Amino acid sequence: MDSIQSIIGGKVYNSTSGRNSAVFNPATGEQIAEVGLCSASEVERALDAALALQGEWGRRPIAERARMMFRLQHLLEQRKEDIARLISREHGKTHEDALGEISRGIEPVAFASGMPHILKGEHSLNVAKNVDSYSLRQPLGVCAGITPFNFPVMVPLWMLANALVCGNCFILKPSERDPSASLLLHELILEAGFPSGVFSVVQGDKEAVDALLTAKGVAGISFVGSTPIAEYVYRTGCSNGKRVQALGGAKNHMVVMADADLDKVVDALIGSAYGAAGERCMAISAALPIGNEVADRLVARLQERVKAIRIGPASDAESEMGPLITQQHKEKVEGYIEAGVKEGAELVVDGRGHKVAGNEGGYFLGGSLFDRVTPNMRIYREEIFGPVLVVVRAGSLDEAVSLINAHELGNGVSIYTRDGGTARNFMQSVEIGMVGINVPIPVPVGYHSFGGWKRSLFGAHGIYGPESVHFYTKLKTVTARWGETSGSGGKAEFNFPH
């Protein structure tokens, strides 16, 4: 059985906390590894190592850091297959889905490779007589990332690419459910030429998280996870003087207009609701068809397609959907399905009890589909994070927009229509951070920024792109006077130069 450790100061570190966590293959239910969980004092050890390097790393020429990031991009492309197999082994997602995760993780790395241009700053000549003003952005300091199980490579890359290239040492606390990918990332970062120690991996649980949130030397915290934990991370980190971006959960809607191409809608919903077994913060989990006639046709088509989803392990190239991450999470999702039935929703397709031949011990759950769901039901109000799609029938677009805007979560939304005016009005009126128009999963490309509204994001900055650069740097503005060769003759200045 594998033993998974941390990387502190560029070296493999075996935790002496005496606490371990089992790592399972979700497709079989078998334990495949054990990860050592760091104590608070061991997190401090990682922080001390980062602080010792922070000054020198922050002063490295930006062109050097960018060249390292460019090499990392190349290495990630080269090792895609190896990384994908590692993701599938511990997370359970299909091989193609894992490859897609890596591709979306590489985008912000490519963006970070152009950082010399992005960090140029601004300069104003002669803002007053012989006075110039200019601005620059300097490293924030040692930063930490706390990442979720569902994207063990993509989300860390979303954080560390800009953090490192902006001149910050970075400590990653990955999920203990699928920790091995973090060690491979460290290997590739070293191979790309980054100095040993600027990137550390601290394996751990809540004790490690709390240590990072309260340690004096951590300047910034990036987090992705559920909304309750995101709020906890944000409040705790901010109260300890840190800059925090904490991305929480989602209840992403898709509005289906009467003029939409229903074939494309069904394809989009099958992929966005059931891909990665619904364990995505950008999964579409609520469909809002406008009018009963559209709803009836949509549900009828979805019913057959949901039943036909090929469910199996990543080792089967034909698999379209893999298992859930743990037995506990599978039971939690099944509990939501039972709650929906009890609250009166119509269970059109029941995914419970699904078995995969040869993988009977795996955490597999079939796709589930609910119709006639109302906004007061738990399966609508809460993020299920599983392969469950709910259909909420709306009488008009205005009603659909009101439902979406009333929800406490505001991560992503999509609309399917052939009418440009309808789409434009929807885009402007909906109170959501990321909007898709005839696009099922509106994740921005790496040179824009990712982030929701309301209780889907705590903090002022998105997780990658230009917003992330502002998060990982501090603005400094300089006002300088040059060119005067003699003093003022003893006359004091009481006014601003003009």
**Per residue in 299-349, pLDDT tens?**
999 999 999 999 999 999 999 999 999 999 999 999 999 999 999 999 999
CA 489 to chain centre: 60
Nearest to 29 by CA among 362, 366, 365: 362
* Domain-embedded: residue 488: no
pLDDT over 70 at 366, yes or no: yes
Average pLDDT, the chain: 96
Tokens at residue 455, please? 């209780």
* Domain-embedded: residue 489: no
Q: In terms of domains, do 40 and 132 share one?
A: yes
* Domain-embedded: residue 96: yes
Bridge partners, residue 7, by sequence: 12, 201
The percentage of the chain sitting over the pLDDT mark of 90, rounded to a whole number, equals 95
Rounded to two decimals, the pTM is 0.95
Cα–Cα distance, 98 to 104 (Å, whole number): 10
* Domain-embedded: residue 496: no
H helices within 240-371, ranges in order?
Answer: 262-274, 292-307, 327-342
Q: What is the pLDDT of residues 247-304, one digit of tens each?
A: 999 999 999 999 999 999 999 999 999 999 999 999 999 999 999 999 999 999 999 9
- With beta carbons less than 8 A apart as the criterion, state whether 319 and 364 touch: no
Q: Within 10 Å of residue 3's Cβ, how many Cβ atoms? A: 10
Q: In terms of domains, do 132 and 238 share one?
A: yes
Q: In terms of domains, do 206 and 287 share one?
A: no
* Active centre residues (catalytic): 281
Confidence of residue 359 (pLDDT cuts 50, 70, 90): very high
Question: What is the domain range of residue 394?
Answer: 252-437
Going from the C-alpha of 161 to that of each of 107, 169, 200, the distances in angstroms are 10, 11, 14
* Domain-embedded: residue 443: no
Q: In terms of domains, do 299 and 336 share one?
A: yes
Cα–Cα distance, 272 to 304 (Å, whole number): 16
Q: In terms of domains, do 94 and 148 share one?
A: yes
Q: In terms of domains, do 270 and 359 share one?
A: yes
Cα–Cα distance, 204 to 191 (Å, whole number): 25
- With beta carbons less than 8 A apart as the criterion, state whether 390 and 411 touch: no
Total number of domains in the chain: 2
DSSP-assigned letters across all residues of 216-240:
TT--EEEEES-HHHHHHHHHHHHHT
pLDDT over 70 at 490, yes or no: no
- With beta carbons less than 8 A apart as the criterion, state whether 221 and 194 touch: no
Q: In terms of domains, do 263 and 236 share one?
A: no
- With beta carbons less than 8 A apart as the criterion, state whether 69 and 192 touch: yes
pLDDT score of 460: 84
pLDDT over 80 at 158, yes or no: yes
* Domain-embedded: residue 110: yes
Q: What is the pLDDT of residues 54-111, one digit of tens each?
A: 999 999 999 999 999 999 999 999 999 999 999 999 999 999 999 999 999 999 999 9
Q: In terms of domains, do 155 and 30 share one?
A: yes
Cα–Cα distance, 474 to 138 (Å, whole number): 5
Cα–Cα distance, 269 to 252 (Å, whole number): 11
* Domain-embedded: residue 444: no
Q: In terms of domains, do 324 and 362 share one?
A: yes
- With beta carbons less than 8 A apart as the criterion, state whether 486 and 141 touch: no
pLDDT score of 496: 64
pLDDT score of 487: 59
Q: In terms of domains, do 128 and 175 share one?
A: yes
Cα–Cα distance, 72 to 192 (Å, whole number): 5
Q: In terms of domains, do 155 and 58 share one?
A: yes
Q: What is the pLDDT of residues 406-442, one digit of tens each?
A: 999 999 999 999 999 999 999 999 999 999 999 999 9
Q: In terms of domains, do 142 and 265 share one?
A: no
CATH number for the domain spanning 177: value is: 3.40.605.10
pLDDT score of 498: 59
pLDDT score of 485: 60
pLDDT over 90 at 2, yes or no: no
pLDDT over 80 at 486, yes or no: no
Q: Rounded to 5 degrees, what are φ and ψ at 205?
A: -125, -145
* Domain-embedded: residue 484: no
CATH number for the domain spanning 296: value is: 3.40.309.10
- With beta carbons less than 8 A apart as the criterion, state whether 467 and 222 touch: no
pLDDT over 80 at 1, yes or no: no
